[in-house]
């Protein structure tokens, strides 16, 4: 009888220990969730569960992307935005924002692809052309970059005009097209007094190279 009582107490102690361990684990996990996700902690748990089990829908991925972005977990935001767009490819706003974020995180090729898709699907945000052009320039696709910049320079909007002109000229310099770069800088300077010092350092480099080749007068 006494031995049976002891065994029962041991079983009870083990059960209590397991309960305490489970509670401690739950507290630690909850603390980590709150530390990591702050006010979103209790919203994130079911979202992550649905994503991990394959039960998530597009809205779950979109919401998770927004939460990740707000918490400055940008790669997490990118991952969830991509998952969302697999089922909602027509969402131009989401594709545009994904492209900008990919570029921000230095995913240049992916960002260029996202913005190219945005434009090809009918996206009309002028900045998309500017950012895509800059991405192409970083990828050393200077001709493609100039096509995007030209759309803005030849358009009705003056958005980013100085920045676009500067970026366009830099693609010419990258290809050592000194005459074309010189002409474009000079044309920009003629537009307004505020352009008088436009790209002064770059202009010196251009003129030095033209002078070395005996082409300074062109």
- The pTM is what? 0.81
Reading phi first (left if > 0) and then psi (alpha if -120 to 50, else beta), residue 203 is in alpha
At residue 4, does pLDDT exceed 60? Answer: no
Query: Per-residue pLDDT averaged across 209-218, rounded?
Result: 83
pLDDT tens digits for range 56-96: 999 999 999 999 999 999 999 999 999 999 999 999 999 99
pLDDT tens digits for range 6-32: 566 666 656 666 665 555 554 455 556
Report how far residue 44's alpha carbon sits from residue 63's, in angstroms, rounded to the nearest whole number: 9
Q: Cα–Cα–Cα angle for 161, 184, 136, nearest 5°?
A: 60
Mean of pLDDT over the chain: 88
């Amino acid at each position: 009888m006494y031995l049976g009582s002891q065994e029962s107490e041991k079983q009870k102690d083990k059960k209590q220990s397991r309960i305490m361990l489970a509670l401690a684990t739950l507290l630690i996990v909850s603390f980590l969730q709150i530390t990591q996700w702050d006010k979103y902690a209790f919203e994130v748990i079911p979202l992550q569960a649905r994503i991990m089990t394959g039960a998530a829908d597009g809205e779950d991925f979109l919401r998770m992307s927004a939460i990740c972005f707000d918490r400055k977990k940008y790669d997490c935001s990118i991952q969830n935005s991509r998952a969302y767009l697999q089922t909602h490819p027509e969402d131009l706003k989401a594709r545009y924002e994904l492209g900008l974020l990919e570029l921000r995180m230095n995913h240049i090729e992916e960002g260029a692809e996202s913005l190219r898709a945005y434009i090809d699907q009918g996206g009309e945000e002028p900045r998309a052309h500017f950012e895509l052009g800059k991405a192409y320039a970083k990828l050393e696709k200077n001709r493609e970059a100039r096509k995007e910049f030209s759309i803005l320079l030849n358009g009705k909007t003056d958005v980013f005009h100085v920045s676009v002109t500067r970026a366009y000229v830099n693609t010419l310099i990258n290809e050592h097209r000194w005459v074309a770069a010189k002409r474009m800088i000079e044309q920009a300077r003629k537009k307004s007094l505020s352009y008088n010092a436009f790209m002064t350092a770059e202009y010196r480099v251009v003129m030095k190279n033209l002078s070395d080749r005996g082409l300074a007068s062109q």
